[in-house]
Amino acid sequence: NAHIPQTNLSPEQATLLVRLREKRTQLAKQRNVPAYIIFSDRSLEEMARLQPRNEAAFADIHGVGAAKLEKFAAIFLEIMTE
């Protein structure tokens, strides 16, 4: 069952969410961990909706702590600024 976002995303945001999920899956496989360990669906949905453009804004996303900010901010920010 695919997770249905609770928030209404625009088509552009929905497309971005797919790309964010693909990156999360790739990172999870590389690290041999479940995808939710990288980021929860809620975190990815918030990224797609808010589209943070820098680390400070990225840090405000639900589920982003210091460790995830350090490990993943650059990777996910790159997707959001493409």
Is it the case that residue 37 has pLDDT exceeding 60? yes
Is it the case that residue 2 has pLDDT exceeding 70? no
Number of domains the chain contains:
1
Question: What is the pLDDT, as a whole number, of residue 53?
Answer: 96
Residue 3 · residue 41 · CB < 8 Å? yes
pTM above the 0.75 mark? Answer: yes
Residue 45 lies in a domain: yes
CA 10 – CA 49 distance, rounded (Å): 8
Other CB atoms within 10 A of residue 23 CB: 18
Residue 26 lies in a domain: yes
Residue 1 lies in a domain: no
Residue 62 lies in a domain: yes
HSE-up of residue 45 (Cα within 13 Å, Cβ side):
11
